[in-house]
Amino acid sequence: MEGKEQDVSLGANKFPERQPLGIAAQSQDETKDYQEPPPAPLFEPSELTSWSFYRAGIAEFVATFLFLYITILTVFGVQRSPTKCQSVGIQGIAWAFGGMIFALVYCTAGISGGHINPAVTFGLFLARKLSLTRALYYIVMQVLGAIVGAGVVKGFEGKHRYAQYNGGANFVAPGYTKGDGLGAEIVGTFVLVYTVFSATDAKRSARDSHVPILAPLPIGFAVFLVHLATIPITGTGINPARSLGAAIIFNQDRGWDDHWIFWVGPFIGAALAALYHQVVIRAIPFKSK
C-alpha cells in the first residue's frame, strides 16, 4: 500500500492542476491577455445617424429572409415525398436549418453580429452586448425578413400546396401538451444562446487562439442538434421570427393556437442562457472593477 500511495503522490506532483480554481482563477484578470468589451449603453442616439447601424439591420433582414426561404422549402420537400426514404427526412431538415445558420452567421457576423433570431438578440441585449435601440431594430428587421421569406415560398408553391403543408408553421405535435412544447423551446433556445455566448466569448477567443475554429460552426451545429431533438415535438421554433413569419403567411388557426409558446419559450431560454453564462460561467458581476 505504501508503494501505491507513493506512486499516486508522484503522479499528482508530476501533473499538477494547471487551471486555477475559485478566487485564484479570478485573480488572473489582472494579467489577462484579452480585452473585455465594455457594456453597451441602454440607449445610443448616435447610432441612428450612422450608416453602419442601418446596414446591420439590412443584413439581418436579408439573412432571415434567406433562412426562411431555404428551410421552409426543405420542409416542403420532405412533406411532398411519399416516403421519408425518398427525401432528406428529418435529418435533412435539421441540416438545412443548422447549415443555413452556419453560412449566414459567417456572412453577417462582421456586419451585424449575425443574430438572425430575436431570441439571440434578446439574450445578447440582457448581457449588455448591444443597446436597446439596436436590439429592437434588429428584431423588427428579422421579423420582416422572415415574413418575406415565407411569402416567397408561398409564391413558389401556390396557395393550395402551401396550406396543405401547413406553411412550415410551428405548433405542438399531437400527443404532446403545451407544457411539453414550452419546455422543449426553453431548453432548445438555451442550448443555442449558450453556444452563441461561448463561441463569441472574448476570453475563449484569446485562450483558444491557436484552435482554427469558426464561431459560426458550433452555433450552426447547435441548431442542427436541437432540431434533431425537437422537430417531433414542436417542429422546432427556437426563433420567434421564423415562427411568426411562417404563421403570418400561413394564417390559419393551427398556426396561431400555440404561437405564444414560440415567443415565451425562446425568450425564457435566452434569458436563462445569458444569466448562466454571465453570472455562473464568467462571474462578471463579481469581478473587481
Q: Confirm whether 15 is domain-assigned.
A: no
Q: Confirm whether 223 is domain-assigned.
A: yes
Look up residue 83 and give its three cell numbers.
416516403
- Quote the domain boundaries for residue 113: 47-281
Q: Confirm whether 12 is domain-assigned.
A: no
Count up the domains in the chain and report the number: 1
Alpha helices in 15-88 (DSSP H): 23-26, 51-80
**Residue 83 backbone class (left: φ over 0; alpha: ψ -120 to 50; beta: rest):** beta
Q: What is the C-alpha R_g of the chain?
A: 22
Predicted TM-score of the model (pTM): 0.84
pLDDT in tens, the chain (289 residues): 555 555 545 444 444 444 443 434 444 444 555 677 788 888 888 889 899 999 999 999 999 999 999 999 999 988 887 766 667 888 999 999 999 999 999 999 999 999 999 999 999 999 999 999 999 999 999 999 999 999 999 999 888 888 888 899 999 999 999 999 999 999 999 999 999 999 988 776 656 555 555 789 999 999 999 999 999 999 999 999 999 999 999 999 888 999 999 999 999 999 999 999 999 988 777 765 5
Query: Phi and psi for 53 in degrees, rounded to 5?
Result: -65, -50
Q: Confirm whether 232 is domain-assigned.
A: yes
Contacting residues for 9 by C-beta, under 8 A, at least 6 apart = none
Q: Confirm whether 238 is domain-assigned.
A: yes
Coil, strand or helix at 179: helix
Q: Confirm whether 107 is domain-assigned.
A: yes
Q: Confirm whether 3 is domain-assigned.
A: no
CATH number for 75:
1.20.1080.10
Q: Confirm whether 24 is domain-assigned.
A: no
